[in-house]
Structures are given as C-alpha cells and as structure tokens.
Structure 1
Amino acid sequence: MIGKITSAVSKIGPGAGGNIPGHMVLKVGGDEALRQLASELKLGSVLVTGTNGKTTTTTLLIKLLSNDLQIRKSFENNTVNSITTSLLKQDGDLGVFEYGIRNTEFGIPDKVQRLVDPVGVVYTTISQEHTQVNGVKNPFLAYYHAKILLTQDMKRGVIVTNSDDPRTALIGINKQKDVKINYYGIAIDGIEDIFDEMPIRCPKCNEHELSYSKRFLNHRGLYECECGFKRPEPNVKLTNAEFGVDSWKLTIEGNVFNYHAKKEIPLNLELTVPPFGFHNIYNTLASITAYASYTPKTDRIEDTIYKIFNNLDMSFIPPGRFEVVNCNGKFIGLGQGDNGDALKINGLFMNQFIDGPLEFIYTTPDEYEDEIFADHFEVIRNLNPEHVIVVPGRKSVEKAEEYCNRIRKEFDNVDFYPLDYEKMDKRIDKLTQLATDSEYDYIIMSGCGEEQAMWEKIKRKIIDK
C-alpha cells in the first residue's frame, strides 16, 4: 500500500531514476516484499549484468520480448530499488531488469538472486571498473566475485554469457551442472584488436597467463590455459560480417536452448544493421541469444529478430554513450569511457573515421583509480594523438594534473584545464568549446565523468552548432 501511494505521487518512471516507490516498499516491507512482488511473474525474471553493454543489451532485449508479450522492465537505473519499483508499478508476466553490481556491500547480488529467483541471467563482459566506491578502493577480485554471486546459487533457468570473455565464460562453465548455459561469441576473421596485447591471468587457476590465438578486443578472443581452461564453443555465433559505410550485414547462426519450450531452437539470420560499432555486435549477440532463451513464443523468434534489427537506427544507443558526430566537417567522437575496456571500444570505433592528425580531449579518473588510468593511457598511446587536452573527469583536480604530467612524459603537445567538477555547467560549456573550436578535423573526447548527463549535454550542444 505504501508503495502504491508513493507511486501515485511520484512522476519518475523506470529507466529515468524511478526508485522512490521501490525504496519505500523495501523500507517498510523488507526483503519479503520483493520476493512477493517477484512471485507475481508467471514467466519469471531475467537480470542483465556486466561491466559494459548492460543498458544497450537490456534495451534491445526489451524491444524483442515486448513484441511477444507485456513485460515489466527497468534499465539505466540498475538497482534493487528500481527492480522493485518496476515490479510494483507495471504489469506483465515476464520481468527484464538491468542490474549493476560494484561489490557485495553495495550490490547484494546473492540476496537479489535469492529474492527475485530469476529464470535467466545475462552476462555481457567483465572488466575492471569503479576501482573506488564511495571513496574506498574496490579491488577487482571483489568486483568479479560479486558478479559471480548473482548466479552462484541459481538452480533453475538459463544463463546467457559471453564465451569470448574468459571471466564470463568461466561463470558459465562452473554452472553447467546446475542450469543450462547459452554462450555467444564471434567466429569470423577480419576483426582484430588494434591495441597492444596485455597479459591476462587465467581466471580459473590464477597461476598462468592465457594464450590467445586471436584477440577481438582487450581480453576477449580465442584463448586457452595450461591448466586446461579454454574458450567454450558458442551456441550463437557471428559467422560472417560485411562492413559498409551506411550499413552492416551480419550472419548469425546457432542453436539456443529455450527455457519455456525445454528444447533447442535453431537460428540462421542475415541481418542488416546500422554501422553501430564493433562493441554493439556483442550487444546484438547477447540480446538475440537472451531473447531466444526466454521468449515463450518460440514459433516467431526469427521473424521478431528480423523485425527489430532490420528496422534498427542509432536511437537505441542509450544517452551519453559514445557516438561520432560530423560537426561542420569535423569528426568528433564523444561519450563516456570510464573504464579501460570502454575507452578501448570508443577508440576502436573512432579509428574508423580518423584520416589525419588526431586531438584527444581526455577526462581523467579520480584518486585511487590508477589502474583505470593505466588502461586509458594504453588507448592514448595506441591512437597516438598529435595534441592531448587533459580535464579532470571526476572530483580531484590534483590527481588529474598528476595524470596529465604522466602523459607529458611521453607526449610533447599536452594542455591541462583544471575545470571544477562541482561547476558542471561551466565544465560542459568549456568541453563543448574545446571540441568545436579545435583546429583539428578528428577529435575524440572520452574518459570519466557523469555517466549520462555530462556527455549527452555536450553531444546535444555540438549537434546544435
């Protein structure tokens, strides 16, 4: 009753910060309130998690499943309060919820799994991010462990996970005795990582470095270890790709175990999509695999996939995410890249457009985030910009200047702008000016910052010019 009263006076909806009613439900009713709400779903719930690609994958999965039935959903505001709000305010027999996890203190993944009791969990990819949470250092192993806990006690349903990512693949391998696993991955030549190879320790034995026969992006690729751990064969795979200027043609094949039909569903797809960047191939594979795993309408799977993807435009990309804008002949790539994997994805996307000297407007991590800076610096080195502008991406101006001085040791043409994080409007105006007034025709602006608001406002200002 408290939740419904709060809902009536709240004008904030799921996907836009709508967590007030859910917060009140949990505060008054406790954990049992979430369990009761989740039990109303006749077809169960699906949770989407990972480091990068959560929101895009959730958005695409919602588009696909909404074609078949009414669903309850939440995305972008990926907390337990948002999940509870969606269960309270919406109707539908199936739930699809984005769920971000930073660590066990702030993410409570094991509790969420127990209370929601999902029939599906989708993993995108897992890489280092948020090396500090609330000012406290957040070790990567603790972060990874929290992701594992989301499915550790899962005894029913289907896990959809990325076979090209050794960390998410291991989660699937370790759960094969309990639930069905549908892996997705890439099975083509012609896609290669442009960045220097970095050693990746085997997540299973934690003793040996993984040996890669091919790297698609950062730690994703075809790998194996001396201990016997190796990349599992994907159930759904990209088997061919034609990359055009205006559109891409993707061939996707596989066999997916469907939870409701209790049988494998064959897929053979020839999709035409926008040239949306290599990272969105993974989001496409994840959402298609998840859709085929969880829809109850198995007789129309391919028809629905064609309907959604062959009519896709760039509006499906969440606000603040990386895009390349043509501003009066200047190609400006901008958007959030607040971990090493994300910035590499942005750099790979921007690299398609670069045909001359590059300027890099870099927004830095904060204190205690040296690991993220190290990953970011690898991207800067590989793109080799002629000019670098460094701006604090988070609160510490002093730490940003320290990062800037490290960059100056390897690059001659570097400028620092100590913009105050608390004066966000002035920061946005200055970053916009730096990009639009630049003497360079190819500019990338990325790094840390507010995950949506800052980047989207800058993007809109540049487009309006």
Structure 2
Amino acid sequence: MDLGSVLVTGTNGKTTTTTLLIKLMENDIPIKKSFENNTINSITTALLKHKGDLGVFEYGIRNIKYGIPDTVQRLLNPIGVVYTTISQEHTHVAGVKNPFTEYLRAKQLLSYVMKDGVIVSNADDPRTAWIGSEKQNDVHVNFYGIEISQISDFDKAEVVCPNCGEILDYSQYYLNHRGVYSCSCGFKRPEPNVKLVDAEFKPDSWKLVIKGEVYNYHAAKNIELDLELNVPAFGFHNIYNTLASITAYSSFTPKVENIEKTIHNVFDNLDMSFIPPGRFEVIKVGDKNVGIGQGDNGDALKINALFMKSYLDSPLEFIYTTPDVDEEDIFNDHFNVIKSMNPEHVIVLPGRHSVEKGEEYYNIIKKEFESAEFYPIGYDELDKRIKKLSDLVVESQYKNIMMSGCGEEQAMWERIKKNFINR
C-alpha cells in the first residue's frame, strides 16, 4: 500500500518536527523515513532502501539551484508539505550571497504546484502562513499556532509583509517574528486549526492544552482534537515542533481512530532524548548552568536565549561563535540577541572558516561590551577549538554561561557536551 510522502521543511525545527512525526506515525503504519541528513540524496536513499506505506522526509532548502524544490515536488508528488518557520539563514550558498526573497521563494516552490494533498503551516509565522494562504484554493491547509499570553518575546522585530512588502503590525510577539500580525493590504495571521490554548510551566515539566479541528487527508474529513499533554520542560521552540508534528500526524495518518491515544502515548512518555544532536540544552557543569548548542541564525539564537533566561539568577557570561564572510545579516540578528541578554562578559571565537571575519564581528561586539575577549582559533583547528570552548566553561568564574552561535552541529557541539559528561 503506497500512501504517498510527506516533506517537512523550514529554517528551524525541521529535524525535531520530523523526529516527532515519525514517532507518532510509526505507531500506525510502516513508514519510509529520513531526517538529520536532509538532502535529496537522503530522500532517494530512503525511498530505495526502506519499506513502508508512507514516506516521512525532512528536506532542507537553501536556494532554488541546489535545493531544486520544484523538481523534488514534481518527481515526488507529495501528499503533504509541512512548514515549520522561515527566517534568515544560509545567506551565503556555494560562494554566492542568497537574497532572502529567493530563499523564501525556494521554500514556496516545494508546494507551489500542489493540486492534491494537505499543507501544514505555522500560522504565527507570516512567511509560512503566506505560503499556506496562497494555496487554500488548491488544497486543504491546516494551520497551527499559539493562543496563550504566557509566551511573549522580549524584543520587537520589524517584519516585512510577504504579500506587499510593507511592515507588519503586531498585536503580540511570541518568538522573534512569530506572533499575531496584520497588514494594511489585508494579509493577516490566519486562524489556527490546531492551537495551544493553555499551559502550565513548571521547572521540570509542562502541561500543554491543545485543541482544534484538523482535516485528515485519507479520511477526507475533519477530526477534532482535545488534548492535555504532560511534557518535559523542553523550551518554547519545541512547543511549535509539538504543534507541527501533531497537526501533521492528524492530517496524514490513515488510522484516525487512534489519533488522540497515539499522541498521548508519545508525548506523555517523552524525554529529552528526542532532541537532535547539537541542539541547545541547559546542562549542569559542576555548580554552573551552561546553555550550550547550535544557534546558526537569529531565530535560533533568540530561541536559545529565551530558554536560557529562565535559568538566570546571577550575571551571565556569553561565549559566542560567529558567522562567516557574507553572513552579516545573521550576525546583526545575533548581535541584537546578545545585547538583549545583557551579559557581564563576552567571549568570541570564529564559528565558521574565516578567523579574520570572526575578529571583525568581535570588534563590533567589544564596542558594546567593555569586558570582551577574542580567541582566533580557525575551523581547521577544530580539536583545539573544542578544547578551548570546553576549558572556558570549566575555568569560568560565572555560574550562568550561554555558549551558542555558528558551528557544525554534531562535529562541535555534541563533542563539547560529551567532554562535560566525561569530566
């Protein structure tokens, strides 16, 4: 039985959303899957090697030329595309600066010619919401979003309307550019089909109340959801990954009678092992709270900062790993996040290849922060860099340390975490 394929794309949240969607779907049917390595090659390998009734594939797209989203859509003809969030990243691809408008267009092309199936889209993100809204006359679109006041960003971003180019008006910010927005052209946040309507945040566990009515592709009817889930205290960004995976699962499982039972089985027994390697976590190193992990773009670093803020009870040291040449847009977003955290001490290392560019970014940072240091350790000295980052944490006089920015997820961040575990 071939039920088709579902593709998960976006700037952030792809791997976690795909991981959770696989956990849910595997309870119902055999599936073909690929995640973490999110290229067309990994999808092809999964299709050829794995047996299953439904394909669930993470797919990263940096630009049209190398991501070939229109070709992938035509050849794979997915029954579903899931959009997590779209923000500035990977502006420099294969030696060429990639305009953000082209990056957004590349994401849109993955579902642009769909005439059958379901698009699952983040209503709180104006870019993913616009992609979904543009397809509502062709296919069913299931939007998901947050509708509680407990989540509120500490910084107000200026976001351009994807429909007309004017600045959007926000009545509430949730995370970075995600929130409740509208524009004079008539474009506005769509009503979510699946929404977080209540939450209780405790230090070690969270209660999430999720309600909605979602269109199921195989049953060709709407399914009501009324859920109260108990999950780890896994960060506000994973609320979006939770909503995305639940909405996608409810949209594409052929076993509609199992939906709420399966969701409870997965999320009520969830632990932190579902977080992909290299992702941001707050761990204990001696008596220190150390937030450590990938933050490759402004959206990701903002999310990491919001998570870290809940642990702060004394001054913060920020250990920052920089972007590269032609990634000034990412640095500017990062710099705003660093300033919003008001660290007492900042340490800067190059996070990618160019030591010279890393020092250039550092020179901007030290104008803002008197207490700042730079360590010029290049990416070709990865072992030396990992040791230095680890030693900086151990030797730090601060009880709260945030270490994030650019760098290879598994090659760098996971090895640093393991260094702390082995100590």
TM-score (norm: length of structure 2): 0.99
For 1:417 and 1:313, locate their aligned partners in 2 and report how far apart those are by CA, in whole Å. Answer: 36
Letter in 2 for 1:205: C
Deviations 1:315-372 (A, max 9, x none): 0000000000111110000101010000000000000101101000000000111110
User: Structure 2: how far apart are the matches of 1:317 and 1:118?
Assistant: 26
In 2, distance between residues paired with 1:135 and 1:450? 18
TM-superposed CA distance for 1:461, in Å, is 0.7
Match of 1:257 in 2: 215
1:53 counterpart (1, 10, 13)? 13
Partner of residue 29, structure 2 = 69
Aligned pairs for 1:373-388 (under 5 A) are 373-388=331-346
CA distance in 2, matches of 1:260, 1:410: 56
Contact in 2 for aligned 1:336/1:452 (Cα 8 Å):
no
Structure 2: runs of 5 or more not aligned: none
Displacement after TM superposition at 1:453 (Å): 1.8
Secondary structure of the residue aligned to 1:145 is helix
> Do residues 446 (structure 1) and 404 (structure 2) align?
yes
Aligned residue among 206, 209, 228 for 2:167: 209
Task: Measure the CA separation in 1 of the matches of 2:158 and 2:264.
Answer: 39
For 1:437, the equivalent position in structure 2 comes to: 395
What is the deviation of 1:205?
A: 0.6
Question: Alpha-carbon deviation of 1:177?
Answer: 0.6
1:360 corresponding residue in structure 2: 318
CA contact (8 A) 1:362 1:447 kept: yes
What corresponds to 2:349 in structure 1? 391
The Cα shift of 1:452 comes to 2.2
Native 8 Å contact 1:51 1:127 kept in 2: yes
Secondary structure of residue in 2 paired with 1:452:
helix
Report if aligned partners of 1:48, 1:99 keep a CA contact under 8 Å in 2: yes
After TM superposition, give the deviation of residue 135 of structure 1 in Å. 2.1
Within 5 Å, which residues of 2 pair with 1:275-424?
A: 275-424=233-382
1:229 positional shift: 0.5
Query: In structure 2, how many angstroms separate the alpha carbons of the residues matched to 1:397 and 1:369?
Result: 14
1:21-40 to 2 correspondence within 5 Å?
none
**Alpha-carbon distance between aligned partners in 1 of 2:146 and 2:154, rounded to the nearest angstrom:** 17
1:30 is aligned to none
Other-structure match for 2:117:
157
| Structure 1 residue ranges, 4+ long, deviating more than 6 angstroms after superposition | none
> 1:102 is matched with which residue?
62
The CA deviation string for residues 384-437 of structure 1, in whole angstroms up to 9 with x for no partner, is: 100000000001111111100001111100000001211111111111111111
1:199 is aligned to 2:161: no
* Alignment-mate amino acid for residue 144 of structure 2: Y
Deviation at 1:451, TM superposition (A): 2.5
Q: Secondary structure, in 3 states, of the residue corresponding to 1:423?
A: helix
Q: Distance in 2 between matches of 1:446 and 1:347?
A: 9
Distance in structure 1 (CA, Å) of the matches to 2:95 and 2:154: 33
1:426 aligns with 2:384: yes
- Output the CA distance in 1 between the equivalents of 2:11 and 2:76: 21
Partner of 1:267: 225
**Partner residue of 1:27?**
none
Residues 149-196 of structure 1: per-residue CA shift (max 9 Å, x gap): 00001111000000000000000110001100000000111111022x
Shift of 1:381: 0.4
Moved more, 455-464 or 163-172: 455-464
Is 1:189 the counterpart of 2:149? The answer is yes
Q: How much identity, in percent, do the aligned residues show?
A: 67
TM value normalised by structure 1: 0.90
Secondary structure of 2:380's match?
coil
Give deviations 1:192-237, integer Å, cap 9, x for gaps.
1022x1211111011x210000000111000000011000000000
Q: Aligned equivalents of 2:344 and 2:216: distance in 1?
A: 51
| Contact residue 241 and residue 248 of structure 1 kept, 8 A | yes
> Aligned partners of 1:261 and 1:202: how far apart in 2?
35
CA distance in 2 between counterparts of 1:130 and 1:148 reads 17
Root-mean-square deviation (CA, aligned residues, Å) is 0.7
Q: How many Å separate the matches in 1 of 2:180 and 2:421?
A: 39
Q: 1:179 aligns with which of 116, 130, 139?
A: 139
Tell me how far 1:246 sits from its aligned partner.
Answer: 1.3
Q: How many angstroms apart in 2 are the aligned matches of 1:434 and 1:133?
A: 32
Q: Secondary structure at the match of 1:257?
A: strand
Secondary structure (helix, strand or coil) at the match of 2:289 reads: strand
Does structure 2 retain, via aligned residues, the 8 Å contact 1:331–1:443?
yes
Determine the structure 2 residue equivalent to 1:112.
Answer: 72
Letter in 2 for 1:199: E
Q: Would the aligned equivalents of 1:65 and 1:71 in 2 still touch at CA under 8 Å?
A: yes
How many angstroms apart in 2 are the aligned matches of 1:232 and 1:302?
24
How many residue pairs match? The answer is 423
Letter in 2 for 1:51: T
The alignment partner of 2:257 has SS state of helix
Give yes or no for contact 1:325–1:463 (8 Å, CA) kept in 2: no
